[in-house]
Amino acid sequence: DVKVTQSSRYLVKRTGEKVFLECVQDMDHENMFWYRQDPGLGLRLIYFSYDVKMKEKGDIPEGYSVSREKKERFSLILESASTNQTSMYLCASSSSAAGGGYGYTFGSGTRLTVV
Amino acid sequence: GEDVEQSLFLSVREGDSSVINCTYTDSSSTYLYWYKQEPGAGLQLLTYIFSNMDMKQDQRLTVLLNKKDKHLSLRIADTQTGDSAIYFCAESTDTGTASKLTFGTGTRLQVTL
């Protein structure tokens, strides 16, 4: 069964800490995405990557950075966590070759609380 | 820019039909999607429709697309308690490097007995 795996389901961090959220996919997908989900706001795109070492800003990149050193792994980094980054973070991947009909495959999410 | 809108909440009785509506703004979207999110889980692809289609049926699910009005709907026939979830519509946008999805706010479907 193909999967997108996020390393933590729940995470509690202190304000000012550097936080790493990890995502791994086993489908050999070219594209990987990080979204945050907040009630009433839906999913908002933070960053995405279309190839190893390539990245592009999404709609809300401020306060975040990403790293993609290997095709299967896409990391989201909060350089200095703040309370307004408390949210559900969802990772997804997609294939460029498969065509749009397959959409994205999502991980189960990481619920991050910054105190 | 892209904007996808949905109502936030829908309540239906078990056995009735549910209709979840969505409006989008990007007329160049190639595919439009419906995703389902159960409590504590990620998003699961339910169905999708290609932009040159008006309707797609898949068992209890019917997707209707009105491209002129940029309106998408998802009908769930014979709604069951297991259908209680948040439903997201999404449109695909080609950025030149990858297709990205823009999601609506999500509609929480509550199924009552």
More confident call, B2 vs B103: B103
| Contact flag B33-A103 (C-beta cutoff 8 Å) | yes
Looking up tokens 């709907």 gives B73
Say if the Cβ atoms of A109 and B8 lie within 8 Å: no
Give whole-number Cα distances, B112 to B14, B39, B82, in Å.
6, 17, 11
For residue A81, the distance in angstroms to the closest alpha carbon of chain B comes to 23
Q: How many Å lie between the alpha carbon of A31 and the closest alpha carbon of chain B? A: 7
Hey, is the C-beta of A1 within 8 angstroms of any chain B C-beta?
A: no
Q: Which of A77, A42, A114 is nearest to B87 (CA)?
A: A42
Write out residues in chain A with pLDDT < 70, as ranges: 1-2, 97-102
> pLDDT grade, residue B1 (50/70/90)?
very low
Digit-coded pLDDT (tens) for B55-106: 999 999 999 999 999 999 999 999 999 999 999 999 887 766 667 788 999 9
Query: Residues A37, A43: contact at Cβ < 8 Å?
Result: yes
Q: Which of A43, A45, A23 is nearest to B88 (CA)?
A: A43
- pLDDT at B22 (0 to 100): 95
DSSP A104: -
Instruction: Report percent pLDDT > 90 for chain B.
Output: 65
Q: What pLDDT, on the 0 to 100 scale, is given for residue B21?
A: 96
A96 and B CB contact within 8 Å: yes
Note whether B105 contacts A42, CB cutoff 8 Å: yes
Indicate yes or no: CB of B101 within 8 angstroms of CB of A104: yes
Q: CA B87 to CA B104: how far, in whole Å?
A: 9
Q: What DSSP character marks residue A85?
A: G
Mean pLDDT value across residues B37-51: 89
CB contact under 8 A, B30 and A100: yes
Mean pLDDT of B12-24: 96
By the CB < 8 Å criterion, does A27 face chain B? no
A52 to chain B, minimum CA–CA distance in Å? Answer: 13
Higher pLDDT, B4 or A115: A115
